[in-house]
Amino acid sequence: MIVEMQTGVSQEEVDAVVQKVKSYGWGAQVMAGTDKTVIAILGSNTGRVSTDIFAVYPGVEKVTRIMKPYKLASREVKPKDTIVSINGIEVGGKRVVVMAGPCAVENEKQLTEAARVIKDAGAVILRGGAFKPRTSPFSFQGLQEEGVELLRKVKKQFDLPVVTEVVDTEDLELVSRAADILQVGSRNMQNFSLLTAVGKKQRNMPNGSVPIPVVLKRGFSCTVTEWLTAADYLLAEGNDQVILCERGIRTFEDSTRFQVDIGAVPVIEKVSHLPVIVDPSHAAGHYSLVPAIARAAIAAGADGLLIEVHPNPKEALVDGLQSLTPSDFGRLMKELRQIARAIGRDI
Amino acid sequence: MIVEMQTGVSQEEVDAVVQKVKSYGWGAQVMAGTDKTVIAILGSNTGRVSTDIFAVYPGVEKVTRIMKPYKLASREVKPKDTIVSINGIEVGGKRVVVMAGPCAVENEKQLTEAARVIKDAGAVILRGGAFKPRTSPFSFQGLQEEGVELLRKVKKQFDLPVVTEVVDTEDLELVSRAADILQVGSRNMQNFSLLTAVGKKQRNMPNGSVPIPVVLKRGFSCTVTEWLTAADYLLAEGNDQVILCERGIRTFEDSTRFQVDIGAVPVIEKVSHLPVIVDPSHAAGHYSLVPAIARAAIAAGADGLLIEVHPNPKEALVDGLQSLTPSDFGRLMKELRQIARAIGRDI
Amino acid sequence: MIVEMQTGVSQEEVDAVVQKVKSYGWGAQVMAGTDKTVIAILGSNTGRVSTDIFAVYPGVEKVTRIMKPYKLASREVKPKDTIVSINGIEVGGKRVVVMAGPCAVENEKQLTEAARVIKDAGAVILRGGAFKPRTSPFSFQGLQEEGVELLRKVKKQFDLPVVTEVVDTEDLELVSRAADILQVGSRNMQNFSLLTAVGKKQRNMPNGSVPIPVVLKRGFSCTVTEWLTAADYLLAEGNDQVILCERGIRTFEDSTRFQVDIGAVPVIEKVSHLPVIVDPSHAAGHYSLVPAIARAAIAAGADGLLIEVHPNPKEALVDGLQSLTPSDFGRLMKELRQIARAIGRDI
Amino acid sequence: MIVEMQTGVSQEEVDAVVQKVKSYGWGAQVMAGTDKTVIAILGSNTGRVSTDIFAVYPGVEKVTRIMKPYKLASREVKPKDTIVSINGIEVGGKRVVVMAGPCAVENEKQLTEAARVIKDAGAVILRGGAFKPRTSPFSFQGLQEEGVELLRKVKKQFDLPVVTEVVDTEDLELVSRAADILQVGSRNMQNFSLLTAVGKKQRNMPNGSVPIPVVLKRGFSCTVTEWLTAADYLLAEGNDQVILCERGIRTFEDSTRFQVDIGAVPVIEKVSHLPVIVDPSHAAGHYSLVPAIARAAIAAGADGLLIEVHPNPKEALVDGLQSLTPSDFGRLMKELRQIARAIGRDI
């Protein structure tokens, strides 16, 4: 950390800060510039304390963090790419992974048709929500337990792993019955209790228990730094099977529902070892805009996509407007395959 | 709702929308303008369904909602101001209510001193967190159960009701042991499971059980409309003791940590019956900026304030930089009293 | 426009609004719903007046615009794509057009090398600023007249059309000496005097005068709607040779300098006939992030790119950090060509 | 500036940066921490160069500026408050200055009535636009020269100084005929050509020429730092009669048109010597919200207000919805006087 002192600061004020630095076992190097005195704090884990600890001292103008607040998610801690593996499907490897399906599980017919359509088109993971976080208490909240059972049934029938959202610690056990990947939604990215519980969740396997892979959606108003720091909550519990999902951020623009931060894809690749996918559907808000954003995501280097597809969007109970029809999805998959090949990957 | 059709739409496309409208038992009035055809949907509870239901139809350009998505929190449903009552202290009445104390409960000495200081200066409710939602898993997460016990002890000693945060459904029972007001934090404003659980929580009283008052902080990137819709989750459970708390929104500005949306105060007063308070501390991020924002909040018509005060900010474990010292708080309370009187209220 | 009246509005209040509507020669259709009365305003040019004209009337709750405020830039007015032609190079056609060069013209050697490099790699238009809008008066403001002369010289030498920025009406004549395309920068997108002057500017040709093509960069905090309405200023002067340029918007994110609104590309394609290009350099703020954003732009359907390339970024006077080196640019052009072909275009 | 090197950087990379630092005549202090090497740049005018100059070097992770980019507007350069004086009215002193009047000058009757109303209520400066920057070319653009003449006439009649906007360098001479204070609007805050011209503009006085005071409105998406750096353009021309005006920033919120950044008032007071006023009208967007924001501004410490008042808002050509009626304005002035007195000032 770098502590910048105000102009005209006293020696006592400088000393007090240096004293505090030393109380943490860190080194303090004082630089008296022509205009300002600056104190550099040298130590290996300064990223773990708040800058406030020094900023609150008299005579301090500003404290700037140099170590990032996230640690386990950073490429400095683990230079090699993390590959998340779901029943042999690898996210973060050469192949671009498409996860698709309806926003909400509505009934068996809908889910079965959706599964057939997306598998035929080349998607390898089925998405579908049994628990839906809705802004109004008067909206459809998902089929819940019945939805989980439908997901279990349909995934077996089509041999498709399932990604589905968990919205509360209390439902974690239930949702895990169907989930091959647990999704933590945008509004829960900083629900730290949920993150801790999800990070701890294990699945029993013949040779011991293993963590369940997690898709961690970016909070729609959270920075990349906050997102990776939230991922640290999962990683700190020993779960390294974390897939980041960019789904659009909230800005002043209103012609799309959220604005995909396409630059976040190369930023993540640069600073973190975790794979990143993109959800073009929630951001676009309108089916006609989904294909362009999906293509852009692949071209930018995303490791996969999370796309909403509904057999009959007009009858969808949730988010029908942003869902692709089966034929639109089929067409899009062909386009995406071309883009993937153009950058040396495949779908 | 108003459905605007695209230029050059066919009669069949218009008819399909009208049919869908009628399937909900609503009326549809078609207006063929010179450029565009517009369909008005007339019914009493159109606010409860998504605009997507119509927007997804071919030939539809845009659907505009006229009914607000929130209902129970609106002044249309309840024109008269709601007054929240905590042990005889009224929030939403003539008197401006100041809640103050440390960000986090750290130890008995700290909490006792804080309680004494804020009571002496005229604050009537003690704030202090036992559970802290922290962006990094490596930060201090609060004293938890020990913190709850300290709050119970100190509130009795000083006869000060306590407002404290609940971050997870699992902790609700524990936190309620100390809380006279439950706080739902900014990052949990759209944690709908938590809202439902908090809305249901009752306290046993001699004459039956009563709901526990709730401070619902605004999500730092949520609109006023989303905030009131989140309040509907609490109200829908029969808990009408809801205090809204503006605590700053996230924008591009970086000279303060968050930016208080001062206009939200008169907006809330206009569209909702619920009282609204302001937290200047988290928004300011720096103690030197807290007084000006606190004064502005009272002048704008806020029903109260939530202010961080620490006996010794330099030693604070959390957010020391934004905490007022006892003497700064005493001085501020005098200023606030003047402002309150200038607008015909008191503190 | 749709005028929504407050609950419990009087007949007189409704009549007053209807009267006002009629004073514009428009029709008013009153719909008395169960909760609210709504007045639809029917007329062909309601987009030209402010909603305030009705919103200010007593009893009015909200006025919603149905006609977009922009007209000439809309696809409704001109369904067919506009193709902007610069010395035979078409922007908005099948071929993706790459404009590249240094942020600022610094000296002849720098500009000559840049021109050679970008031409060799396949770019067809040279960019370079002679006038630089700088946030601080103490920063390098561009070579101005000397820069214009260098652009004239180098463009002849390499037979490359030039796009360069005009920052003030007073410099328009001077800048036009070198500019084959005039650029209006992000900070001037709503400098309406400048837009009007640029829209009027003509170049004398053997067979009469013709308007000079314009690149209109999006204001970094302007909506797509405001951007197209600003384009109307150019189009209203009879200049239809307008290229829109998305260059990133300002949000709360700080890992990139601005955030490219990739969804704006398909939105523009849907609602406007004007071609759209993307500037990945100013948004990225760092050369390492430019290629991913550039690829995404092409995949999303952009008609071209505006990229900063500098023979020696370390010595650049302006924005060196976001400039590609010649070898990076060569590599990127190969990648872009693959992406363009994958979507049936070429570079 | 502080240059943070990447983990595992080579000695050559560190040396190259140090060499570059020295080429500016500055000192470089290298600190090899346990994780990272950091280079502190020590010199008196490092605020004037871009951080890019170092960030572009291989091995550099991040460059952090310690000196602010603005200089002349900072309190460090001039600790004492600047007081702007207009015909004996002081902005930045003890008295809160209210500037009021219509958004646009429409005709003599309107302007005369507005002047009478605001003077009677206690406002001391008349506002009114002759040139209006409008988002659409089809909107009313102001009376222009005729408006300037009306302002001249009415200001003499009522002995009220006038603040009015200049939107283009070309109109500066004309607008200055009526303007006692020149207003640079939000959309022109970074129109650096205009700032330079306005900063240079002088008024001939018996004892030589003096600069014309300027109200510099904050760009609706510009940071406080950018705003003060823009003020440096005016100050650099020798004009120190600069009044800053906060008028709301653009965020995601839509219940008000812009959101007043109330925290900017104490921030400005802390870091700059320039006076700051607030325009509650453009931010509120609706007359009913103006009084609360105006009261908040005074309570926060603003030195004045810029308020829209129209004799008959229903007939206003521009922004009628946000204009106060004469009686609303009279009532507000009484409230504001109470607030001003509560904080030891007066109106």
- Containing H/E element for D244? strand D242-246
Distance of CA A122 to the CA centre of its chain: 23
Q: What is the DSSP letter of D309?
A: B
Instruction: Give chain B's mean pLDDT.
Output: 93
Q: How many CB pairs under 8 A join C and D?
A: 118
Q: Are C174 and D232 in contact (CB under 8 A)?
A: no
pLDDT digits (tens, 9 = 90+) for A230-260: 999 999 999 999 999 999 999 999 999 999 9
Neighbours of C, requiring at least 3 CB pairs below 8 Å, are: A, B, D
Residue C31 DSSP label: E
Please tell me the distance from the alpha carbon of residue C130 to that of residue C99, in angstroms, as a whole number: 16
Residue that has been written with the tokens 């004996």 in this structure: D88
Mutate to test the interface with B, among A321, A324, A325, A327 (most CBs of B within 10 A): A321
Closest approach of chain C CAs to the CA of A221, in angstroms? 7
Q: What is the mean pLDDT of residues D68-77?
A: 90
Q: Is the confidence metric ipTM above 0.90 for this complex? A: yes
Identity of the amino acid at B330: G
Cβ atoms of C286 and D61 closer than 8 Å = no
Architecture field, domain D84-342: Alpha-Beta Barrel (3.20)
- The residue of chain D with its CA nearest to that of A270 is D61
**Which residues in chain A have their CB less than 8 angstroms from residue C289's CB?**
263, 266-267, 270
Statement: residue C46 has pLDDT above 80 = no
Which candidate in C68, C244, C247, C253 is best for mutational testing of the A interface (most A CBs within 10 A)?
A: C253
Single-letter amino acid, residue B293: I
Closest CA to A128 of A93, A97, A162: A162
Q: DSSP labels for A124-139?
A: -EEE-BSS---SSTTS
Which chain D positions have a beta carbon within 8 Å of B255's beta carbon? 223-225, 263-264, 267, 271
Average pLDDT, chain D: 93
Structure confidence at residue C157 (pLDDT): 97
Residue D41 confidence class, pLDDT cut points 50, 70, 90: confident
Q: What is the pLDDT of residue A331?
A: 97
Both tokens of residue B181? 């007001």
Residues 6 or more apart whose CB falls under 8 angstroms from that of B40 comprise B1, B2, B3, B28, B29, B31, C2, C31, C33, C38, C40
Q: What is the mean pLDDT of residues C22-32?
A: 85
How sure is the predictor about B34, in pLDDT bands with cuts at 50, 70 and 90? low
Q: Any bridge partners for residue B305, and if so which?
A: B98, B278
- Which positions in chain A touch C279 (Cβ < 8 Å)? none
Residue of D nearest to B222 (CA): D253
DSSP string, C190-214: T-HHHHHHHHH-EEEETTEEEEPPE
pLDDT, tens digit, 9 for 90 and up, residues A304-344: 999 999 999 988 887 788 999 999 999 999 999 999 999 99
Q: What distance lies between CA A192 and its chain's CA centroid?
A: 14
Distance CA C228, CA C43 (A): 22
- CB neighbours (10 Å) of residue C206? 4
Q: Are B42 and C33 in contact (CB under 8 A)?
A: yes
Distance of CA A176 to the CA centre of its chain: 19
Express each pLDDT in D159-173 by its tens digit.
999 999 999 998 999
Best of A227, A250, A287, A295 to substitute, by most chain C Cβ atoms within 10 angstroms, is A295
Residue D339 to residue B341, Cβ atoms within 8 A: no
Distance CA D25, CA C295 (A): 41
CA-based nearest residue in chain C for residue B41: C33
Name the neighbours of A, counting chains with at least 3 Cβ pairs within 8 A.
B, C, D
CA distances from B114 to B245, B329, C183 (A): 22, 11, 60
Tell me the mean pLDDT in the region C152-160. 97
Q: What is the pLDDT of residue C44?
A: 67
Tokens of B291: 């007084």
CB within 8 Å: A292 and C262: yes
pLDDT of residue C256: 96
Task: Sort out which chain D residues have CB atoms less than 8 A from C139's CB and list them.
Answer: 48, 50
Q: Is A291 left (phi over 0), alpha (psi -120 to 50) or beta?
A: alpha
Q: Which of C105, C109, C182 is nearest to C146 (CA)?
A: C105
Residue D27: strand pairing partners: D42
Per-residue pLDDT of A37-46, as tens digits, reads: 888 887 767 7
pLDDT tens string D207-261: 889 999 999 999 999 999 999 999 999 999 999 999 999 999 999 999 999 999 9
pLDDT single digits (tens) D253-306:
999 999 999 999 999 999 999 999 999 999 999 999 999 999 999 999 999 999
* Both structure tokens of A272: 């973190």
Is this prediction's pTM over 0.90? Answer: yes
Q: Nearest Cβ partner of C293 from A224, A259, A263? A: A263
- Identity of the residue in C52, C170, C171 whose CB atom sits nearest the CB atom of D321: C52
Closest CA to C221 of D161, B217, D179, D187: D187
**A272 contacts C255 by C-beta, under 8 angstroms:** no
Low-confidence ranges of chain A (pLDDT < 50): none
Q: Yes or no: say if D269 and D234 are a contact pair by the CB < 8 Å rule.
A: no
Report the residue of chain A nearest C295, measured CA to CA: A299
pLDDT value, residue C34: 65
| Rounded CA separation B294/C84 (Å) | 55
Structural contact between residues D143 and D106, judged by C-beta atoms closer than 8 angstroms: yes
How many other C-beta atoms can be found within 10 angstroms of the C-beta atom of residue C116? 16
Distance CA B55, CA D18 (A): 60
- Give the 3-state secondary structure of residue B314: helix
Count of C-beta atoms within a 10 Å radius of residue D202 = 14
Kindly determine whether residue A135 and residue B226, on different chains, have CB atoms separated by under 8 Å: yes
Q: Pairing mode, if any, of strands D202-205 and D208-211?
A: antiparallel
For C92, the token pair is 């908005």
Specify the DSSP class assigned to residue C90: E
Which residue reads 């909550």 in tokens? A233
Mean pLDDT check: name the lowest of C26-30, C207-211, D192-196, D284-288.
Answer: C26-30
Task: Tell me which of C152-156, C199-203, C243-247 is least confident.
Answer: C199-203
Q: Which chain D residue is nearest to residue B292, measuring alpha carbons?
A: D300
Residue A287: both structure tokens together: 């089916």
> How many angstroms separate the CA atoms of A111 and A160, rounded?
12
CB proximity list for A40: less than 8 A, separation 6 or greater:
A1, A2, A3, A28, A29, A31, D2, D31, D33, D38, D40
The residue length of chain C stands at 347
Kind of pairing, strands A27-32 and A214-217? unpaired
Residues of C with CB under 8 A from a CB of B: 2, 4, 7, 27, 29, 31, 33-36, 38, 40, 42-44, 62, 64, 66-67, 76, 221, 250-252
Name the pLDDT band for C206 (thresholds 50, 70, 90): confident
Which residue in this structure is represented by tokens 């202010």?
B307
Look at residue A34 in the predicted model and tell me its pLDDT.
65
Whether residue C304 is predicted with pLDDT greater than 70 in this model: the reply is: yes
How far is D106 from D112, CA to CA, in rounded Å? 11
Q: Output the 3-class SS for B195-246.
A: HHHHHHCEEEECCEEEECCEEEECCCCCCHHHHHHHHHHHHCCCCCCEEEEE
Contacting chains of B (3 CB pairs or more, <8 Å) are A, C, D
**Fold classified for D2-64:** Alpha-Beta Plaits (3.30.70)
Distance from the B15 Cα atom to the nearest Cα atom in chain C, whole angstroms:
19
Residue B180 confidence class, pLDDT cut points 50, 70, 90: very high
Strands B37-42 and B2-5 come out as antiparallel
Total count of residues recorded for chain B: 347
Residue contact A40–D42, C-beta within 8 A: no
Q: What is the pLDDT of residue B44?
A: 67
What are the residues of chain A with a beta carbon less than 8 Å away from any beta carbon of chain C?
221, 223-225, 249, 251-256, 259-267, 269-271, 283-284, 288-289, 291-293, 295-301, 335, 338-339, 341-343
Task: Give the closest-approach CA distance of C219 to chain B in angstroms.
Answer: 15
Q: Which amino acid is at C128?
A: G
Summarised one tens digit per residue, pLDDT across range B183-232 is 999 999 999 999 999 999 998 888 889 999 999 999 999 999 999 999 99
CA–CA distance, C39 with C50 (Å, rounded to integer)? 16
pLDDT value at residue A24: 87
Q: Retrieve residue C326's tokens.
A: 């010649």
Q: Which one of D221, D252, D259 has the shortest CB-CB distance to B263? A: D259
Q: What values do phi and psi take at C56, rounded to 5? A: -75, -15
Residue D318 binned pLDDT confidence (cut-offs 50, 70, 90):
confident
Q: A36, D67: Cβ pair inside 8 Å?
A: yes
Single-letter amino acid, residue A238: G
For residue D167, what pLDDT is reported?
93
- Determine how β-strand C37-42 pairs with β-strand C27-32: antiparallel
pLDDT in tens, D115-170: 999 999 999 999 999 998 887 887 788 899 999 999 999 999 999 999 999 999 98
Q: What percentage of chain D carries pLDDT values higher than 70?
A: 99
Report yes or no: D37 and D9 within 8 Å, Cβ to Cβ.
Answer: yes
Kindly give, in sequence order, each residue whose CB lies less than 8 Å from that of residue A301, ignoring residues fewer than 6 positions away: A265, A266, A269, A343, C292, C295
Segments of chain B assigned to CATH 3.30.70.1140? 2-64
- Return d(Cα D211, Cα D240) in angstroms, integer: 8
Residue A142 main-chain phi, psi, to 5 deg: 100, 160
Q: By mean pLDDT, which of A264-268, C313-317, D74-78 is the weakest?
A: C313-317
- pLDDT of C293 over the 90 cut: yes
**Residues of chain C in Cβ contact (below 8 Å) with chain A:** 221, 223-225, 249, 251-256, 259-267, 269-271, 283-284, 288-289, 291-293, 295-301, 335, 338-339, 341-343
**Residue A118 in contact with residue A329, Cβ under 8 Å?**
yes
List, by residue range, all CATH 3.20.20.70 domains of chain C.
84-342
Question: How far is residue A261's CA from residue D141's CA, in Å, rounded to a whole number?
Answer: 37
Which chain A residues are closer than 8 Å to B229 by Cβ?
135-136
Out of A7, A31, A251, the one facing D40 most closely (by C-beta) is A31
Which pLDDT value is given to residue B164? 97
The letter for the amino acid at A60 is V
Q: How far apart are the first and last CA of chain D?
A: 44
CB atoms within 10 A of CB C14: 21
User: How many CA atoms lie less than 13 Å away from A180 in the CB half-sphere?
Assistant: 23
pLDDT band at D205 (very low <50, low <70, confident <90, very high): confident
Can you tell me the distance from the alpha carbon of A295 to that of C297, in angstroms, rounded to the nearest whole number? 9
What is the pLDDT confidence band of residue C141, given thresholds at 50, 70 and 90? confident
